[in-house]
Amino acid sequence: MPLSRLLAAPGAAADHGVAALAAATAYARQAAPGSCAVILVEGLSDQSALVTLAARSGRNLGEEGVFVVPMGGATNIGHFLARFGPDGFGVRLAGLCDEAEEDAFRRGLERAGLRPGPTRGSLARLGFYVCVADLEDELIRILGVAAVEELIEAEGELGPFRTFCRQPAQRGRTRAQQLRRFLGTRSGRKIRYGQVLAGALDPGRVPDPLSGVLSRV
């Protein structure tokens, strides 16, 4: 299946994903060796957070030849490694995934001949980092529950969040768990809050997987 169709699957914000893929591909085709880098991420919320963090530190990734490419899910990594990895354009690679998708990333890297090894440390040495449990969990833990609720209020969604917390399925969860679930309850919300939460981070307190992956490129 063409990569553009993977990114345009139902539920994906196809325009941004396809645009990132197209830009990375066009640049990689004409780039001098070592001048292009691609960060492979699962989805658009990861892309939003990383681009926001880079901009806050004064970086313009596109001008640097660095592209954050959402894959429409971790299981698609093989297709993207085939294009950008050692048997494709051979660009500098990095990546970010959720804890639950670590094995899928490792298998894809192994098939691409990149020898990821069995540990997270060995993945990191290749430039691939694991969020525990996912991007939203990392951001909530660093910012703190109270700060995230304030951001939700600033976005005009404190009422919907409180209504969500009263649902029977949420009553036994911690506030942090409720926040994490809420951010994924509506199409587009995770993408928006990827930017909002990343934009609120203290530059000296960025979650390790996010700072790690940006430092590799």
| Residue 211: predicted pLDDT | 97
| Residue 14: predicted pLDDT | 57
Domain range annotation of the chain: 3-132+205-215, 136-199
Low-confidence residues of the chain: pLDDT under 50: 1, 6, 8-12
User: Token pair for residue 215?
Assistant: 């430092």
User: Token pair for residue 86?
Assistant: 């050692």
| Residue 11: predicted pLDDT | 47
With CA atoms as reference, report the closest residue to 25 among 50, 4, 56: 4
| Residue 178: predicted pLDDT | 97
Q: What are the Cα distances from residue 145, in Å, to 12, 46, 140, 142, 180? A: 28, 20, 6, 9, 10
Q: What count of other Cβ atoms lies within 10 Å of the Cβ of residue 94?
A: 23
| Residue 2: predicted pLDDT | 52
- For the entire predicted model, the pTM comes to 0.92
